[in-house]
Structure 1
Amino acid sequence: MPSGPPAAAGRAARRGWAQALGTVLAGLVAMGAVAALGLWAAGAADLPDNAFPRVVVATVVTAVGGALEMSGDAGDLAATDAGLIVMPLSVTLTGALVIGRGFVRPLRHRAVGGAGELAGWAGRIAVLWLLALLGTAFAARQTFEVSLGEGLLEDLGDLFGVSPTVGFTADVPLTVLFGLLWLAGVLVLALLVSHRTPLPGPLLRLRTSAGPAAYAMVALLLACVVIGVVVALVAAGTRGSPADTFAVLLLGLPNLAWPALTIGLGATWNGRVEGPFGLPMPRVLDEVLRTPDVSTVNVGTLAERDGRMWWLLVAAAVLVLAAGFLMASRAPARRPAWLHAVHLAVALALTVLVIGLVARISAHYGLSVLGIGDLGGGLSGQVFLRPRLWGAVGLALLWGLVAGFLGALPARWAGGRPGRVRS
C-alpha cells in the first residue's frame, strides 16, 4: 500500500497539471474569442473557402510574437509580392492578463513559496504552452484567390488563365521561440506586480526592488487602453461606423493608444500609407501618413490637422506623474526621492522600448500581369509605421527622472512616507 506522503505528492502533481492546463486553455480561448469578434467586426467572416477559423488562429499566433510567411502564386505570366508584420495588441493584452492571473492565483494560497514549487508550476505551464504553440502554428495556414479587378488586368487574366493567389503560413520555429519568450515575460511580470504571491528570498528581494516600478508601468499601459476605449466609444457614437470601431477595439487598440503615449512624451514616428489599402486608424493619422514621401508623425504634425492633438502632451504628463506617485506609494520606506526617479526612468525607458518594438506596423502587397500593374504601383499598396526608437527611449528617461522625483513628494505627504500605501 502506498504511503501517505507519496500519494499526496502524486495527487498534487496531477492537480498541478490540471490547473496548468486550465490556465493555458483559458488564455487561448480568451485570445481566440477576442480575435474572432474583432475579425468578425472587420468583415473577415465573409472570407472564402471557410478561411475564417484559420485567420483567427493566425491572429493568435501573431499576438504572441509568432511570425507569418506570406506567399503568392500567379503562374508564369504574373507575379505577386506580399508581407505583413503586425501584432494585434488587444489580443496580446487579453492573453497576458488571463495567463498572468492564472499563473499567480494558485500561488497566493501558499504561506511560503519555495523555488522548486515555483519552478515546477511555471514549467508545467511552459510545457503545455509549447504544445499549444505548435498546434496553432501548424494550423495557421491558408491560401486566397486574388481578384484582378476590372479592366485590362481582368481581360489579361481571362485570356491567359491567370488566377493569382496569396497565402500565409506560420514560421513554426520562430513562433515557438517568440511565443515562449512572450510567456516568460508574462510570468515574470505577473510575479513582479503581485504583492500577495509568496516568493523565495532572491525573487522576493527582486520584487521589493523592481516590483513597484513594474506595477506602475502596467497601470500606465492599462490606463492608456481605458482612455482609448472611452475615446473610441465616443467617436463611434458621434461619427458612426460602430463595426469598424469595435474591430479596432478588439484587435488593435493598444497599437494606437501606446504609440499615442510615446508621441505625447515627444517621440517621433515615421510612416506611410500608399495605395488602396490601409489599416483602421484615426482620420488625422491617416491624413498625416498619406503623403508622397515618408511622413513624420509627432504632436506637431498631428496638431497641424487637429489642434486637439496637443492634449496628448497633457495626457502623457498626467499619466506619467500618476505612475510616479503610484510607484513611490508602493515602494519600501525610506527610499530617497532620487532613487525613485532612477527607478521610474529605467522602467519608463524599457516600457517605451517595448512599445516601439511591438507596436510597429509593416504591410505591403503587389500584383502584376505581363508587367502591367507593377509591383511598385497599380494594384500595390503599403502601410508602415515605426518609431525613431532611441530618441523615444531617451525622452522616456528624462520624463521618468522628473516624474519619479515629483511623484515621490506627494507620496510622502499622502502616506507619511513612501511604502505606506499598499494594495
Structure 2
Amino acid sequence: MQAVTAVLRTLAAMAAVAALGLWAAGAAELPDDAFGRVVAATVASAVGGTIRLTGDAGPLAETRAGLTVMPLSVTLTGALVLAAGFLRPLRHRAVTGAGELAGWAGRIAVLWLLALIGLALLARQTFTVDIGNGTLGDLTHLIDATPTLGFTTDVAQTVLYGLLWLAGVLVLALLVSRGAPLPARLVGFQESVRPAAYAMVVLLLACVALGVVVALVTAATRGHPADTFAVVLLGLPNLAWLALTLGLGATWHGRVDGPFGLPMPHVLDQVLRTPDVATLNLRTLAEHDGRVWWLVVVDAVLLLATAFLMAARTPVRVPAWRHALRFAVALALAVLMICLVGRISAHYGLSLLGIGNLGGGLSGELFLRPETWSAIGLGVLWGLVAGFLGALLARPVHRRGAVPSQV
C-alpha cells in the first residue's frame, strides 16, 4: 500500500503542475477534449518519455514536425514527491539490508512501469491545422488536402527512460538524505558521497527558488502574469539551470526561426533569433544587456555557500584539497545533467506541391544545445576553487574537540 501511495502521489503532483501550467499557457482551449491527453504527454515527457509529432496533408502535401524538451518544473515536482514517498518507510533506521531495500524499490518500480504504460497509451491525439486564407490555404481547398498534426508516444522508449529516471531519483534520494539507511557494505561511502550530493541538490533548488522570485517580480511589474506562471509551472528549472551554466562561462548554441517564441527573457530571444546558428554565452548576452554579468556574481555566491554547506557536513579530518576535489566532481556531474536535460529541439513545416514557407508562419524551428565538455571543464574549475574556499570557511563551525587536518 505504501508503494501505491508513493506512485499515485507522484503522478497526481506531476499532473497537477502540468495541468496548471498548460492551462496558464492556453492549452485548455484545445479542441476535441484534448487537454487531458496533452497533460499526459507532458508528464510522460517530464520523465524522459519520447513524444513523436505526426502530420498528414494528403497525397500532394507533406508535413514535418518534431519536439524534444523536458518540462523540468514537472520533472522536479515528481522527483521531490517520489523521493519523499520512497524515504518515508526508511526513516529512523540505522542500516537496512540490500535485499530489503531492493524489494522496496522493486515494488515502486513495478507500479511505476504500469503508470508509464498507461501514460504512453493515453498521450496521443490528432488535430486539424487551420492554415488561414493565404496561398497554401487556397491550394489546400482546391485539392482537398487538409493538413493534420498530432502527437503520439513511443511506449518502449517512454518505459525505458521513465524507469531510468525512477532509478536516478531513488539513488539520489538515498545519497542526499542523512536519515536514510544504507546497506552495511555501502555505509563507508556515505562520508564522501552524501555531503556532495546534498550540496548539489541544494544548489539546484536554490537556483529554482531565485528563479521563482524573479518570475514573481516580472509578473507583478511587466504584466502578462498567465505567461509567466506558465513558464514557472512548466519550465522554470530549464531557465534557472541554463542561467547557472551561463554564469559559469558555458556556451550554448541555438536558433529561433518563424513564429516560435521562447518562454524566457527577451534578451535570449534577441540573441537566438538570427539567420544562422547563434552562440549563447555571457559575451553575446552582454551585447544586448550588460546586467547578465551579475550571473557570475550569483554563481560565485551560490557555489561558495553550497561548498561551505558541504564542508560543514563533512568530518573535519578531511583535508581541504580533498573536499575541493569532491565538490568539483559533484559540480561537474550536475553540469552534465543540466546539459543532458536542458536541450530543446522543435520544428514544424508544411509544403504543398513542393512549395513551403507559404501561407503565413507554416514553418519554424527552435533548438538549443550546449558545448557539453567545455561546460563540464568549467564546472570542475569552479568546483575546485569554491570547494577549497568552502572548506577553509567551514573550519570554525566543525564539532568541538575535532582536530582539523592540514591543508
Partner in structure 2 of residue 24 of structure 1: 7
CA distance in 1, matches of 2:145, 2:61: 7
Taking the TM superposition and a 5 Å limit, the aligned residue runs for 1:151-190 are 151-190=134-173
Question: What percentage of aligned pairs have identical amino acids?
Answer: 71
In structure 2, how many angstroms separate the alpha carbons of the residues matched to 1:69 and 1:240?
Answer: 34
The 5-angstrom pairing of residues 368-387 of structure 1 reads 368-374=351-357, 379-387=362-370
The answer to whether the aligner puts 1:361 opposite 2:333 as a matched pair is no
Q: State the match for 2:227 in structure 1.
A: 244
Compute the TM-score of the two structures, normalised by the length of structure 2.
0.96
Q: What amino acid sits opposite 1:286 in the alignment?
A: D
Number of corresponding residues:
402
- Per-residue deviation at 1:234? 0.3
| C-alpha spacing 1:268/1:41, structure 2 compared with 1 (3 Å) | same
Q: Which moved more, 1:335-344 or 1:110-119?
A: 110-119
Q: Decide whether the 8 Å contact of 2:93 with 2:179 is kept in 1.
A: no
Letter in 1 for 2:218: A
Which residue of 2 is the match for residue 391 of structure 1? 374
Change (3 A) 1:417 1:326: farther
Q: How does 1:105-120 map to 2 (within 5 A)?
A: 105-120=88-103
Question: CA separation in 1, counterparts of 2:181 and 2:336?
Answer: 30
Distance in 2 between residues matched to 1:227 and 1:66, nearest whole Å:
28
> Structure 1, residues 124-146: CA drift from partner, whole Å, max 9, x if none?
00111011111111111111111
SS in 1 for 2:121: helix
1:55 aligns with 2:38: yes
Pick from 306, 312, 315: which aligns with 1:332?
Answer: 315
**Of 76, 82, 104, which residue of structure 1 is paired with 2:59?**
76
Query: Matched residues in 2 for 1:112 and 1:84: separation?
Result: 44
Tell me which residue corresponds to 2:112.
129
Give CA-to-partner distance per residue, 1:297-339, whole Å, 9 cap, x none. Answer: 1111111111111110100111111111111111123001011
**Letter in structure 1 aligned against 2:302:** L
Alpha-carbon offset, residue 110 of structure 1: 3.3
Matches within 5 A, 1:80-95: 80-95=63-78
Amino acid across the alignment from 1:140: A
Contact 1:330-1:418 at 8 Å conserved across structures: no
C-alpha distance in structure 2 between counterparts of 1:418 and 1:299, whole Å: 46
- The answer as to whether partners of 2:92 and 2:179 remain within 8 angstroms in 1 is no
Given that 1:348 and 1:400 are in contact with CA atoms closer than 8 Å, whether structure 2 keeps it comes out as yes
Question: Which of 293, 299, 307 is matched with 1:316 structurally?
Answer: 299
* Unmatched runs of 5 consecutive residues or more in structure 1: 1-17
Aligned-pair Cα RMSD in Å: 1.6
Q: Is the 8 A contact 1:329 1:418 kept in 2?
A: no
Pairwise CA distance, 1:236: 0.8
Show the counterpart of 2:208: 225
Structure 1 residue 414 displacement after superposition: 2.5
Structure 1 residues 48-93: Cα deviation after superposition (integer angstroms, max 9, x where no partner): 1111100000000000001011211111121100000000000000
How far apart are residue 167 of structure 1 and its match?
1.2
When structure 1 is superposed on structure 2, of 364-373 and 322-331 the one drifting more is: 364-373
Between 1:150-159 and 1:227-236, the stretch displaced more is 150-159
> Residue type matched to 1:49 in 2?
D
Q: What CA distance in whole angstroms lies between the structure 1 residues aligned with 2:384 and 2:368?
A: 28
Task: Report the alpha carbon displacement of residue 418 of structure 1 after superposing the two structures with TM.
Answer: 12
Q: Which residue of 2 aligns with 1:277?
A: 260
1:208 aligns with 2:160: no
Q: Match of 1:406, as an amino acid?
A: L
Post-superposition offset of 1:371 = 2.3
Question: Residue 393 and residue 91 in structure 1: after superposition, are their counterparts in 2 closer, same or farther (change >3 A)?
Answer: same
Matched, 1:305 2:288: yes
Q: 2:28 aligns with which of 45, 62, 87?
A: 45
Tell me the amino acid that sits aligned with residue 97 of structure 1: L
Cα deviation 1:366-419 (Å, max 9, x = unaligned): 0112222249x9621010011111000000000111111110011102335899
Counterpart of 2:3, as a letter, is A
The one of 243, 255, 268 aligned to 1:260: 243
- Kindly indicate whether the alpha-carbon contact (under 8 Å) linking 2:18 and 2:74 is maintained by their aligned counterparts in 1: yes
SS at match of 1:202: helix
Q: Which residue identity is paired with 2:104?
A: W
Question: Closer, same or farther in 2 for the Cα pair 1:339/1:418, shift >3 Å?
Answer: farther
CA distance in 2 between partners of 1:179 and 1:240 (Å):
37
Provide the rounded CA distance (Å) in 1 between the counterparts of 2:95 and 2:384: 35
Cα distance in structure 1, aligned partners of 2:400 and 2:207: 28
1:344 and 2:349 aligned: no
Residue of structure 2 equivalent to 1:14: none
Q: CA separation in 2, counterparts of 1:52 and 1:419?
A: 59
Corresponding letter in the other structure for 1:85: T
Q: For the Cα contact (< 8 Å) 2:126–2:148, is it kept in 1?
A: yes
Classify the secondary structure of the residue corresponding to 2:285: helix
Structure-2 separation of matches of 1:187 and 1:227: 26
Summarize the Cα distance change of 1:59–1:378 in structure 2 as closer, same or farther, 3 Å threshold. Answer: closer
CA deviation after TM superposition for structure 1 residue 199, in Å:
1.9
Distance 1:321 1:243 in 2: 35
Per-residue CA shift, 1:224-281, capped at 9, x if unaligned?
0000000011011110000000000000000100010000000001111000122311
Change in CA separation of 1:405 and 1:417 when aligned onto 2, cut-off 3 Å: farther
After TM superposition, the score normalised by the length of structure 1 is 0.92
